[in-house]
Every structure is written in structure tokens, then in C-alpha cells.
Structure 1
Amino acid sequence: MPDSPDDTAAVPAHGIAGWPLGGADPGRPRPDSLPDGAPWPRIRVLTVAAGTEPRLSETIASVARQRYPESRHDLVPPGEAARVAAAILADRAGDGLLFLRAGDLLAPGALAALALEMALTGAAAVAGLRVLFDRRVSAVDLPSLAGTEEADIPFTGGEILWSRRRLMESGRLDPTGPLGPEAAWRGLSALGARVARIGRPVLLQHAPTGDERGRRTGRALSIVALTGTGYAGGAGIAQRRLGNALMLAGHRITDVTLSEESPPAAAEWTDSFPVSESAILSGGHDLVLAGNLHGATRTLGILGRLSGHLPIALVLHDLFPLTGRCAQPKGCPRIAAGGCDAACPTPDEYPQLARRRVAPVYAAKRAVLARRRGPLLLANSAWTLAQARRLAPPEAATASVTLAFPTGVFRPADRAALRRELGLPADDVLILISAVIVDGPDKGFSDLAATLRRVARPGLGFVAIGRLDDPGRLGLPNLFAPGPIAEEARLAAWYGACDLHVTASRLETLGQTPIEAGLCGTPTIAYRAGGLTSAVIDGVSGRLVPDEPGALAAAIEDLVADGPAQARLGAFARIALENRFSPASAAISLDTLFRDSGLLPDTGGRLRFGAAMLGHFPDAAERHPGAAGTVAPSTGRLVRALRLAKQAVLGRNLPLPLRRCLYWASAIRTGLRGPA
């Protein structure tokens, strides 16, 4: 059977005609073997072509540009497809198959992305996003898992990598047969085989300008994004990104922020939000997507009232909805001993609540969650899902959700150039720590500082991003502390300039900074604790260590001394995390949730996004610039000095009398009534 050229010299100097991405594709770094040391899957790409098809040379070039040495591209005459496919399936020398139609193109890095996901999950088939384009991009879509594809959108299967072995085991599924790739894709799932979908572009397919194949089908939902204090800070950022992913999937988002009706100083005593509730109930919405409410209220009362009228989904950015008052129980025995009550050991920690109110608020929360139409709890990691099922009432409904990250903003760049731009040393190994509040006790600051002091030595530098009132508390030489960075693009530059990212937190429901760092090609070292076990793919995007003294420092020293291991982990981190945490990945998880819950009919059809979705990937000609104002800007010296003085006298917590004073001050300013 004839083979296409595999020499990249065959690619025209000007690239591929009509290429819908940004400029020339420089190729992507890919380690020589899989994370476990095994060889990359051997992939056969099969294209049925007579040799005269328009744009066939571009199809060939797109495969050659994959820089995937373990692939072979076969060009097969039209009448030979079934025979050749059968021969490939029987050939034990191959691991995966991809059927690419003449004229279609593989996106940069597609084979590596599909192959890595197949290797990590053992999936029988892995599908990625298809980009429809002509003179411009018209849409981005993805195969569904059920139902039937629309007749006006040919399902050629070029976005699917098939496991040769699993196809052979199925015995009757042939993507080149009369029923085509659609039947094989759904057939594998029906047989109980795992099929996976990744949220990154894989296939570029020509669609004539003006045709309606990019138009979204099905009903768009009207969704209220309900938060306590808006979109600043870690949880607020995560909530905003979920809303953006839903908009890219064609849904309508209406923001409602409770602190616009009642200030945060009143949160401990506020349960009613009549203006917000009236606006939500009169808007004809389909769903409330709530999250991070405790900045405006310490109860779930508003969700209980709204749940009698429309579905509620509550994202667990922390465990506050499941406790009497705290965001993280930290192993507190009170819940297991009968529930949160006045014996709460930390009532003055944020989110604070008077001791006498802990038990009634805990009972009221559980009553809301136990309702027949109560909020659906959405967990952002496997650990959080387990905690939700452990701590919530047995009647509470739980599900998983994938958080969204701007994978076109957080991306690898030239590290040397970034260091010159940021004024960082060119040759030092730089270790990054990052959090909204770096010295927060919940981030394991004392442990982190001690660990970094232990490994400090000449040639090693440290970068601390986030609020850090007294950088001297770290006790580190060669420290760069730029403070809070509110622009995602600027934050990505700092991530990309560093060699390693380290966190000592044990209390993350997921951990956003390891994912942001990994998308920039910077691996993370963390404890094997909490949601970090999902944010850091051990041995792929970083290393997880036991939660025991010295383990974190030992792992840092090991990787600092092993530059090639750093590079391998950074390269794998970018591929694996883009596959799993892009805006499209989040929208996929939410779409599955909506169909499972009956909010959207499970009638099949491809999950479709607008053309703007492509702008959230690094290869787009017009990339989304990222968000600004994501965290509070750095405060002046006087404010930092006052904050440090307050911490020296009162600690980080606010006692109840002082909280009441702040409440009354805000009530006077806004005309609120005082607490009963």
C-alpha cells in the first residue's frame, strides 16, 4: 500500500493553504516516551484517496507536521479501504488507527494529544474537537455519546483515535464499514468499552461558507450565575470561567451577585435577598448555577427558596455548604460526632459565625440539601465528590464538574525571553509559589516557608505571586515577590518563566494554580492530599509526595537536580491538562450533566460551540486575551502595616464584638437594619 511522505521538508514553506490557525506551526515538544517510560502508541493514519482530490496535499502535510515519528500515513484507493483496514486491524505492529478524509487536516499536536489520553485512560477510542472552516472558522464541535448525528453534519471520524486491539475485540465494529465511524463510536460505548473525549482541537474540516452546519442545534439554556461577592479571588475566578464556558456552548448567562444587595460585613447576619430573588424568579431562567456564596451569607436559605421554582446546581469550590460554618473541616471531629454545633473549635475563622448559631445553621443547610428538589452538588475533583457524599445528607444529589481554564492564555512560551522581560535571572532554577493570599494558613505557609529555606542555595531562585504582606517572613534569599497579578496573560508569563511550581496546601478542593502552571509547561510538586490528586497528575504533570516531614523538600531537590525530568513533566503537563481542563472540557461535563438531569433532551447530535471557542486555544489566529482584574491589586505600605499590626494583636481572626462593630458601620452607611 502506498505511503505518504513523512519528511517535513515536503511541507510547503508557506504552510497549508487556508490554514485557519495563527501563522506557521512551529511544532510542539513531545518527550520520546510516555510518562511511564513505555513507547508512544504506533498509529496508522488511513486516507482513502484516488490521488486527484482537492487539498489532498494539505491533508498529507498536516499529518507530516504532527512530528509523531511512530505514525504512518497510508493513502488507499477508494475500492481498497475495507481490505486495507482489515489488514491494519490484524497487524499486531499497530496500536491505534485514525481515518482521515482527503481534504481534512489534523490540528497541530493532535496525534500526541489523542495518544496520551488513550495511554493514560485505556480508552477504546478518544475523540477531540472538530473545527469547521472555509475562509473563516464557522464552528467547533464534538461527537456526542448517544442518539444520532444530524444528517447535515457528516461524521467522518477524523477526530477519533481508535484502539486497534479494542476494535478487534469488539468483533463487529468497523469504522470503514457501511455504517461508518458513528456506529463504531457508539457501538464501543454500548459494549461497555470506555470512550473518551478531550477538549482540544484535533480535526480541521472544510465547510462551505454560508452553510448552516456550524449553527447550534437544540435549546439554549438561560442560566443564572449566582455568587456571593462576584468573580474576584480563586473561587470567583473558577465560577466566572464556568460561566464563560457555558456561553461558548451557546447558553445565556445572567450574573447575580448578592453583595450588591447586602455588603460582606453583613454576611453573618443576612439570609434574605429579596431584590436578587425577585430578579431571578421573574427572569424565566432554566437553572441557577451557584457558587462561593459565603462572602454574602452564611446560610443556603436563598437556594432553598429558589429550589421550589427552578433547578439549582451548587459548585463546591470549598466545603462550606456541607458544614456549620467553615470552608474546610480540616479533620474536625464534630461533624462525624453528630454535626457542627457550639463546640466548633474555630468560630472566629473566616467565614465566621457566632457559636450559638453554628448548630441551627448546620441543620438548616442539611434541610435544604435533603429536599427532593434540593441543590445538585457539583464536585470539581474526585476528592471533593467523595467528601460531598460523606458529609452531605444521604438524600443530597451529587455529580462531577470539570473546571475551565483559559488554555490559550496559559500556554508555554520562550522561557529565556520571559525572564528577560520580567527581570529574572537567566540561569537560576526558579521555584514558584502562587496563591491569592500566599501567607494564608490554609495554604500551608509555615510548612512551605520551612521547606523552601531547607532547599535554598546559590543558583536557586524563588518567585512568590499573590498577597504577601511581609516577604521577609519567608526568609529566602534570591526572592522575587511581584505581589498580586490581576491579568491572566501577565500571570501566565510568570508561570512560564519558572522551572517548578510548589504548593504545601492540604486543603484544596481542586487546586487551580497547579493547572495554570502546568498549562504553561511548569510542573508542580505537591502533597498527595485533597483535590490536588486531580489537579496534579502524578508522574505526568508533576509529582505528588506523601504528607510527611521532609517529603516535599526531597522531591524539590530531586527535580531541581534533574533538568530533563523537569522538561518531560512540563511537556506532558501541557498536553494532558489542555486535554482535560479547557473551556470546551468544562462545557462537555456540564452538557452531560444537563442531559442526565433532563434539562436538555438527550437526542444526540454533536455538542456545538461558536467560532469564538477556537480563540481559547493557543494555535488560534485570534486568541482570547484573557481576563483582567481577577484579584485585588496590591495594597499600599500603610494598609499592609495596619494589617500586620492587627495580626500581631488579634491574629488573623476577627472576634465577634469587632465583627458586630463592622456590621453596624456598614448598616449605617447603607441603611440596613441592625441584627435582631
Structure 2
Amino acid sequence: MSPPPHGVAGWPYGRSPPGPARPRSLPDGRPWPRIRIITVAHADAALAGTVASVLRQDYPEFRHDVLAPRTGRAAVERILTDPGPDHLLWLAAGDLLAPGALIALALEASLAEVDAVAGLRVLFDHAVRGLDGPDRAAEAGGRRSARGGILWRRDGLADHADLDPDGMLNEGSAWSTTSENRRNLIGRPALLHRLLSDLPPPASGLSIVSLTGTGTQGGAGVAQRRLAEALTLAGHRIAEVTLSGRPEAAEWRDVFPPAEAAIAATAPDLVLAGNLHGATRSLDVVGRLARRGPVGLVLHDLFPLTGRCAHPRACGRAAIGCDAACPTPDEYPQLAPGRIAGIHERKRAVLAGAPVGPEVRSPARSPAPWLLANSDWTLARARELAPPGTVVEPIRLAFPTAVFRPGDRAGLRGRLGLPPDDVLILVSSVIVDGPDKGFADLRAALQAVAKPGVGVVAIGRLDDPARLGIANLFAPGLIADEAMLAAWYGACDLHVTASRHETLGQTPIEAGLCGVPTLAYRTAGLTSAVIDGVSGRLVPMRPGALADALAALVDDRATRTRLGAFARIALESRYSPAAAALSLEAVFRRLGLGDGAAHPRFAPAMLGHFPFAADLRTGATGTVPAVSPPLVRRLRRAKQMVFGRRMPLFVRRCLYLAGTLRRRVP
């Protein structure tokens, strides 16, 4: 049986698409807001489907008014003065509310406290033609495509209620006249809109180079790849370029002729760069690229703003000038102490648009890269540490929301060989016991709740699992397949991290999309990745706080279930590929890149990133390095016993020379 043209299998008459169960009340205990839905019953419209899509919303507090044509305006004017409904939503006859639309719109309206919340519109006739959002300006002639699917706060609509004789709101006009800080666009479909005429061709996209240091493996590399994929679905042309395949040479390399030549040959409208420190310890290449055209530097960490490190921790030297007094020059990304001050000065010169290297004699100021911050904390930190005048803009990261989704927990446990009835606590990181992951705090918290019926799943590199001191431990190691990673997430009850140094924190979002809440410290970018009281719990950074909160959640299944349901709803709206692409499109408009008047439209494949789509997108593989052989793991443990996590300069030079010789030998 072929899927219906709107791309959602069986909707609105068949089996309900998968999704989290609706909690009984909002996260703060308030009842769900009351919603009044208004539809005009045109004789030629498929009204039955519209009504069915409303009735299948699983929303507790709504009323659907179906009005006769040419008599609806007076009825709607009465509704606007009725104190009963909190929100209003217009729905054109023949259009359908997407699965779960009301709960997603209402939750975002309650969390953001805005006057209007819109979702994406799936545009279809005989097939899905694309996805878009509300127009930024009123649509000429009151075209029907301007109507439907936006949730309006009744008290905030009084000044924007431009009604036609049927009582339908001109939503294009109302949306454009609502101030930007009083409206939100969530990155998931809310409306399935039936096209009655041909769509105009989409705007011509940008040519964008996605530039990484050594590729797209590991946390930051994966994030960079996902951003590139989201931009591709937004109609942009993406070319991926890697600076180097020699990470052992990064400390001494600043020039990359093949990569720079490839970028010059592409002549892109934008270079979107991120995670460069695996190939170089400077930003000189960014400065050279910025002289050719716009460069956006994604802050997957704070490396572009320091003399050496990715996370300054408690060190305050980045604000006054990093130098040889750096307390951790032998930690990754390592740099000889005597070079730190010079590298920091060169980075600041690049960010300020000043020439570096052979061109320092030129007084001309070059264009500077933009800094793109993935969380509120990163945005504030970048504005604090960057040179005055640096452009710093907020963006959202992208996550494959159809891959990371709630599943049948019992079935997943049976498939993975996990105990069916234990409370399973998940910890996940590329390097579980890495220096920035708070391993000592994590171990103490896990040991504090260790008892029969409580198990721990540790995903990532953990060379010595015995270091956790947990008897009921399941350690599958590094998982390079996103679908398999999502299965391990979905099999667990609770995710916990003790990290203090995340610019965002991708694992809490991946876990939350799978319906698993996160417990974390209230610090850094985790305050964006974990919505406190909604997608998890944040605790202060004091001794015992993590252990106490973990014990409470282990014993409280109802709270875990409630937080997991909210996590899926809220994080899908904020971190889908569409949400990420829309955040970047907003940056492009503000900075004058591309056609600022163009209305963004996504390719039909974007719909496949949502679990209710008939044709789901599949996850990526090869996201992390292959598991090291046992001998390598033993050697790494021996090295850590001698040097800890540090790598002395003489060892780094030996590795560099060995790599050079290896490449010269045919």
C-alpha cells in the first residue's frame, strides 16, 4: 500500500504514529492550555480528514469550531473576546494537523512564553513537494497557503486579528507584525498543507564548504557533518573539505595547500568551519580564507578563543592572554609552552580581521570570521573572550530525530541482552574517562546508587572498565552506528553526566530524543542541552549533589517517565535538522548572505527526519573511530600510568617524525 501524498503513513485515519505518551500536565504542574481551533467548512474541501486530524491529537483541552462560509467573522470576533481559550489556531478545511502538533506547539508556547508558535508546513498535492514555515511578510491576496497551523495566544492577538469575511485570520500579516522576540518557529511539522496551485521554484541556495580539521568522526566532527546535512536539505550546495590527514603534525602545521586550493576552486559563498584543532593549533588558515569570502567558525569548543585548550576550565588566562604559564600544555590539543602566547595573539588577530603571517606588514584590515555559538553559555563566553567587534551569532545543532527516537524499551533490552527489570543508568562519551568528563564525580555518584536491581551502561572508550567500580556494568564500547547507539539509549531509564566543560553537550540531547532524561551539573552549555525540569534535572556543582539527585531519580519511575516524555517533545522541536537549518538561515539574513527576502523551503526528504514520516531517514555509520585492538588499549593504559593524560613534547615530536618517515617510505 502506497503512503498517502502528505507522507505520514495512515494519517489521519489509520494507526497513530509512534510518539511519547502525553504527560497529564505541563512541566511546572499547570494544566495544558485550552486551545480553540477554527475551521471554515467550504463545500469543496476534504473536511472529514481535517476533523479527524484534530480528534487524533491526544490533546486534553481543545474545542474545534467548524464555521459556515461568509458567516464566520462575527463568530470569531466573539471567540476573541471569550476568556475561556488560552490559545487560538486556524486550520483551513482540507489541511491536516500533523501528528502530535498541538502538544508540541502548546509545550513550546508555555516554555517560551510567546504570543505565537508555528511549526513547519508539509506542502503536498500528489506527493510531498517540500516543507517550509510561515512567511515573514503578509501574502498578497490572502492566498490560502498563508493560513493555518500557528498557535496564537488569544490575549496577544488583539492587535493582529485581520479577519476575512469567513473568519479566517490573515496569518501572514499577523506573523510579520508580531515582534520576533514574541514568536517562535519550532523545527518539526505542525501542518500538512494541501497545495491548490503550483509552488514557485525555491530560491537558489548558497555554495558552502564544510571545513573540518581531520574529518567528521568524534563528537564535534559528527556535529559538523549533521549541520552540513541540514543545510543540504535546505537547498544549499555543500562540499566537504578536510585540512589534513596528519593529526600528529597539527602542532607544527599552519598551511594546507591542497585543501586551500580545493576551496579556492569551489569559490564558495561561505566556508563553514569547525573542529580544526585536530589539524592545526592556529587559525591562520581561517584568516586566509576570510580574505576570499565569508567564513563562519562553529564553536564546537572554545579552542578558537584560547591560546591552546578547548576548554579553559577554571583558568582565567584566556581573558588576559594565554602564555607559557598555561597549566596544561601537554593535554590535548597540546602545544609547546613557548609557542602559546604567539598562537593566542595570532588567533585574536584573525578574529579581529588583522593580517597575520607574511602579510603583517600590510595595514589593511581583512574581513573577520563569524563565530557561531551552539548554546547560550557559549554565546556569552565567546562575547567575553573574543576581540571587540567580533560577530558572534547563536545557532542550533542538528540531530537525526528519526533515528534517535523512543522505542519499545522491553524489546530493546531483549535484543541487546540487558536485564529486563533493572533500572539502567546510561553514561556516554567518546572517551568515558576523559579529563573533561568529571570521571571521579561520575564514579562516586554511580557507586552511591549501586545495589541489586540497578545497572550501568557505559558507551564509549573505557580502557579499564574496572575503574568504575560497578559490578552490574555493561560496556559495549564505542558504537559507530547511530541506529545502534539509539537502541542502547532507548533501552536505558536515565542518562547521567558529570561533565563541567561542554559548550552544549550532545549526549543529553540524543538521550532525550530517545525519551531518556538526563541528570547533569548546572554549568556551561549543559544548561541548554538539559532543560531543567523538562528534559532532565540540573544540580549545583557541590559534593554529593549528583549522587543525591541520582538516588532520587533511580527510586522515582514516574518522574523519569514524565521527564522522558517532555524531553522527546521539547528537544525534537529545538534540535531537529530543520531547526538547525532555520537558525543558520536567520544568521545568513542578519549578516546579508544570500537573498534575505527569499522564503526558506526544505527538500521533501526533510520530512523523513520525523518518526511519523512514512519514509524515515536512516542513521549514519562510522561516527567514531574503530575500537582499538587489545594491545593498543594495554599500551594506552600503560602510558596513562606513567604520564597520565598528558603527552610530553619529546613524545609528540617522535610521533611527528615517525609519521613523516612513514609517508615518505613507498
TM-score interval (norm. to shorter): over 0.9
Amino acid at match of 1:636: P
Matched residue, 1:474: 468
Matched residue, 2:124: 133
Question: Which residue of 643, 646, 649 maps to 1:650?
Answer: 643
Matched residue, 2:362: none
For the pair 1:39 / 2:21, whether they are aligned, the reply is no
Cα shift at 1:69: 1.9
Cα shift at 1:27: 6.1
Pick closer, same or farther for the CA change 1:152–1:629 going to 2, 3 Å: farther
| Residue-by-residue CA offset, 1:400-427 (whole Å, 9 max, x unaligned) | 1100000010001111111111111111
Pick closer, same or farther for the CA change 1:214–1:30 going to 2, 3 Å: farther
| Residue-by-residue CA offset, 1:271-293 (whole Å, 9 max, x unaligned) | 01112112211212100000000
Higher mean C-alpha displacement, 273-282 vs 399-408: 273-282
Distance of 2:173 and 2:629 partners within structure 1: 63
Pick closer, same or farther for the CA change 1:614–1:179 going to 2, 3 Å: closer
For the pair 1:366 / 2:348, whether they are aligned, the reply is yes
Cα shift at 1:671: 4.2
Amino acid at match of 2:385: L
Pick closer, same or farther for the CA change 1:225–1:46 going to 2, 3 Å: same
Instruction: Say whether the 8 Å CA contact 2:512–2:535 is kept in structure 1.
Output: yes
Distance of 1:325 and 1:221 partners within structure 2: 33
Distance of 1:629 and 1:15 partners within structure 2: 32
Calculate percent identity across the aligned residue pairs. 60
Instruction: Say whether the 8 Å CA contact 1:148–1:604 is kept in structure 2.
Output: no
Higher mean C-alpha displacement, 527-536 vs 547-556: 547-556
Q: Secondary structure at the match of 2:332?
A: coil
Instruction: Say whether the 8 Å CA contact 2:399–2:576 is kept in structure 1.
Output: yes
Pick closer, same or farther for the CA change 1:356–1:153 going to 2, 3 Å: farther
Instruction: Say whether the 8 Å CA contact 1:304–1:368 is kept in structure 2.
Output: yes
| Residue-by-residue CA offset, 1:316-365 (whole Å, 9 max, x unaligned) | 000000000000011213234x3101111111000000011000000000
Question: Which residue of 565, 572, 576 maps to 1:571?
Answer: 565
Matched residue, 2:190: 202
Cα shift at 1:15: 13
Amino acid at match of 1:477: A
Matched residue, 2:44: 53
Match runs of 1:53-452 below 5 Å: 53-145=44-136, 147-149=137-139, 154-168=144-158, 170=159, 173-174=162-163, 180-189=170-179, 194-207=182-195, 212-213=198-199, 215-216=201-202, 218-260=203-245, 263-336=246-319, 338-371=320-353, 373-452=367-446
Amino acid at match of 1:355: P
Q: Secondary structure at the match of 1:78?
A: coil
For the pair 1:627 / 2:627, whether they are aligned, the reply is no
Instruction: Say whether the 8 Å CA contact 2:17–2:99 is kept in structure 1.
Output: no
Pick closer, same or farther for the CA change 1:234–1:245 going to 2, 3 Å: same
Distance of 2:31 and 2:73 partners within structure 1: 28
Aligned length: 647
Pick closer, same or farther for the CA change 1:151–1:290 going to 2, 3 Å: farther
Distance of 1:139 and 1:248 partners within structure 2: 10
Q: Secondary structure at the match of 2:639?
A: helix
Pick closer, same or farther for the CA change 1:214–1:618 going to 2, 3 Å: farther
Higher mean C-alpha displacement, 592-601 vs 533-542: 592-601
Match runs of 1:559-598 below 5 Å: 559-598=553-592
Structure 2 unmatched ranges of 5 or more: 354-365
Matched residue, 1:502: 496
Instruction: Say whether the 8 Å CA contact 1:174–1:184 is kept in structure 2.
Output: no
Higher mean C-alpha displacement, 103-112 vs 198-207: 198-207
Cα shift at 1:19: 5.5
Instruction: Say whether the 8 Å CA contact 2:39–2:66 is kept in structure 1.
Output: yes
Distance of 2:18 and 2:654 partners within structure 1: 60
Matched residue, 2:9: 22
Pick closer, same or farther for the CA change 1:173–1:193 going to 2, 3 Å: farther
Distance of 1:640 and 1:193 partners within structure 2: 51
Question: Which residue of 656, 659, 667 maps to 2:660?
Answer: 667
For the pair 1:555 / 2:549, whether they are aligned, the reply is yes
Instruction: Say whether the 8 Å CA contact 2:71–2:167 is kept in structure 1.
Output: no
Distance of 2:611 and 2:594 partners within structure 1: 31
Higher mean C-alpha displacement, 659-668 vs 378-387: 659-668
Cα shift at 1:16: 10
Distance of 1:546 and 1:179 partners within structure 2: 46
Amino acid at match of 1:213: L
Q: Secondary structure at the match of 1:155?
A: helix
Distance of 2:210 and 2:181 partners within structure 1: 36
Pick closer, same or farther for the CA change 1:574–1:178 going to 2, 3 Å: closer
Amino acid at match of 2:176: R
Distance of 1:214 and 1:635 partners within structure 2: 52
Distance of 2:464 and 2:257 partners within structure 1: 42
Cα shift at 1:450: 1.2
Amino acid at match of 1:47: T
Distance of 2:228 and 2:591 partners within structure 1: 19
Cα shift at 1:138: 1.4
Higher mean C-alpha displacement, 179-188 vs 625-634: 179-188
Q: Secondary structure at the match of 1:630?
A: coil
Cα shift at 1:215: 3.8
Cα shift at 1:558: 1.1
| Residue-by-residue CA offset, 1:86-142 (whole Å, 9 max, x unaligned) | 111111110111111111001100000000000001110101011112332111111
TM-score (norm 2): 0.94
Q: Secondary structure at the match of 1:555?
A: helix
Structure 1 unmatched ranges of 5 or more: 1-13
Distance of 2:247 and 2:90 partners within structure 1: 56
| Residue-by-residue CA offset, 1:520-550 (whole Å, 9 max, x unaligned) | 0000000001000000000000000001011
Instruction: Say whether the 8 Å CA contact 1:149–1:604 is kept in structure 2.
Output: no
Matched residue, 1:493: 487
